[in-house]
């Protein structure tokens, strides 16, 4: 071999060095941090961990020739515990990105910490619009749904059908406040009124005093600005008080197929709700849903399908960037379209919000169900640009 050829070969070898050299620590490590034992365990929990693993397996367990590892932990719906776990993951366990983050207080805390550490977060379980509003960061992304989309879907639909006076029963933390505020704004925008609200502790099992206040308000609609077991318990106890029989309607502002299954169709039938995903929507969603069902015994909700999409998009961004450097990956997340079983035509806006269609649905009557988990009738598809806030109006300082 001539010296000239050898030099040229060496130069080519440097240019074409294995991409794994661009992967920090020689691996890509993704943390799923969520509620695995509390009121939101069915909403995300171990189902979200399985969804993440499904996305990893689609990549053959590697990206840029580097192995991909998924770790998980239970944050117990406490922001301080979540922050401590995230800090340990970043500082000593080489975790590159954290996702899911059920509960808005947790999502906000971990997103802020991750910005300091220059690590990517993709929230799917948290709902507050502050994540892509005043609390946005260059490394923070929001998938699946948010309180604005829920308000536009369920809140807007109920006002359009005559539910023009509202009283809110609200979870007493950031998520509940955001959901109430967004829904109240939509109600008023459409000419409705808000007669009042009451706040309840997260995880309470006794809604009697709160429901009695809502009942005595005389509002046509009682807006349940809560989620998970809180929503299930509120709906069950509302039936005991005869609230709907008395003419008032319940608006379950964050209800997913997991909670509908937990309630049972006898209790849930007729409820109107908004989800960003339904397993029986099209061929791609059905294929994903059935694979998830084989692994977990349940169909995925929008949070769990959103985790699958978020992990898949993150890995595609690493592949496109040729690196797991957070700045390079963030740039690719903004640039690349999202096309998967969760969102066939998604796009990431300048504030980190993934824009995609959401679906206004009604829970079927038991005799309308044709197969297991066939719980919804899709009433309307809400285009993403209508469901989510205009990034220019989000309050995110990153949006020019």
Largest separation between any pair of C-alpha atoms in the chain: 92
Residue 7: predicted pLDDT: 41
Would you call 1 helix, strand, or coil by DSSP?
Answer: coil
From residue 310, how far is each of 33, 244, 316, 319, 379 by CA, in Å? 13, 38, 10, 14, 26
Residue 90: predicted pLDDT: 98
Instruction: With both helix axes pointing from N to C terminus, report the angle between 45-58 and 302-321 in degrees, rounded to the nearest 10.
Output: 30
Would you call 42 helix, strand, or coil by DSSP?
Answer: coil
Would you call 291 helix, strand, or coil by DSSP?
Answer: helix
Would you call 47 helix, strand, or coil by DSSP?
Answer: helix
Residue 16: predicted pLDDT: 39
What is the residue-level pLDDT of the chain in tens, covering all 400 positions?
Answer: 444 434 434 443 443 334 344 899 999 999 999 999 999 999 999 999 999 999 999 999 999 999 999 999 999 999 999 999 999 999 999 999 999 999 999 999 999 999 999 999 999 999 999 999 999 999 999 999 999 999 999 999 999 999 999 999 999 999 999 999 999 999 999 999 999 999 999 999 999 999 999 999 999 999 999 999 999 999 999 999 999 889 999 999 999 999 999 999 999 999 999 999 999 999 999 999 999 999 999 999 999 999 999 999 999 999 999 999 999 999 999 999 999 999 999 999 999 999 999 999 999 999 999 999 999 999 999 999 999 999 999 999 999 8
Q: What number of residues does the chain have?
A: 400
Sorted by where each starts, the structural domains of the chain and their CATH numbers stand as 26-145+281-352 (3.40.50.2300), 148-275+359-383 (3.40.50.2300)
Residue 22: predicted pLDDT: 86
């Amino acid at each position: 071999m001539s010296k000239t050829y050898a030099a040229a070969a060496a130069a080519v070898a440097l240019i074409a060095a294995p991409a794994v050299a661009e992967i920090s620590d020689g691996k890509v490590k993704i943390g799923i941090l969520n509620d695995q034992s509390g009121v939101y365990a069915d909403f995300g929990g171990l189902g979200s961990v399985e969804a993440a693993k499904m996305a990893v397996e689609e990549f053959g367990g590697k990206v840029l020739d580097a192995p991909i590892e998924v770790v998980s932990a239970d944050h117990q719906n406490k922001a301080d515990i979540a922050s401590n776990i995230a800090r340990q993951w970043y500082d000593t366990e080489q975790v590159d990105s954290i996702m899911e983050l059920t509960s808005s207080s947790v999502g906000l805390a971990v997103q802020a910490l991750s910005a300091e550490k220059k690590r990517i977060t993709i929230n799917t379980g948290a709902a507050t619009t502050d994540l892509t509003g005043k609390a946005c960061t260059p490394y923070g992304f929001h998938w699946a749904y948010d309180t604005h989309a829920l308000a536009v879907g369920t809140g807007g639909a109920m006002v359009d059908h005559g539910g023009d006076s509202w009283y809110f029963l609200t979870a007493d933390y950031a998520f509940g406040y955001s959901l109430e505020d967004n829904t109240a704004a939509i109600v008023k925008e459409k000419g409705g009124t808000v007669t009042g609200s009451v706040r309840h502790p997260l995880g309470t099992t006794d809604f009697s005093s709160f429901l009695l206040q809502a009942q005595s308000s005389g509002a046509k609609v009682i807006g349940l600005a809560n989620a998970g077991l809180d929503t299930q318990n509120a709906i069950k106890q509302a039936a005991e008080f005869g609230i709907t029989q008395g003419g008032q309607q319940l608006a379950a502002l964050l209800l997913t197929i997991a909670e509908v299954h937990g309630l049972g169709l006898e209790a849930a039938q007729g409820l109107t709700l908004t989800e960003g995903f339904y397993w029986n929507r099209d061929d791609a969603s059905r294929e994903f849903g059935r694979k998830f069902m084989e692994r977990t015994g349940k169909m995925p909700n929008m949070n769990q399908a959103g985790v699958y999409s978020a992990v898949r998009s993150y890995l595609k961004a690493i592949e496109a960037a040729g690196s797991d450097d957070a700045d390079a990956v963030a740039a690719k997340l903004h640039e690349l379209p999202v096309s998967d079983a969760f969102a066939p035509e998604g796009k990431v806006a300048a504030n980190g919000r993934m824009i995609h269609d959401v679906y206004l649905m009604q829970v079927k009557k038991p005799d309308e169900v044709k197969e297991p988990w066939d719980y919804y009738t899709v009433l309307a598809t809400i285009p993403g640009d209508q469901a989510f806030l205009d990034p220019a109006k989000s309050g995110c300082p990153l949006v020019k």
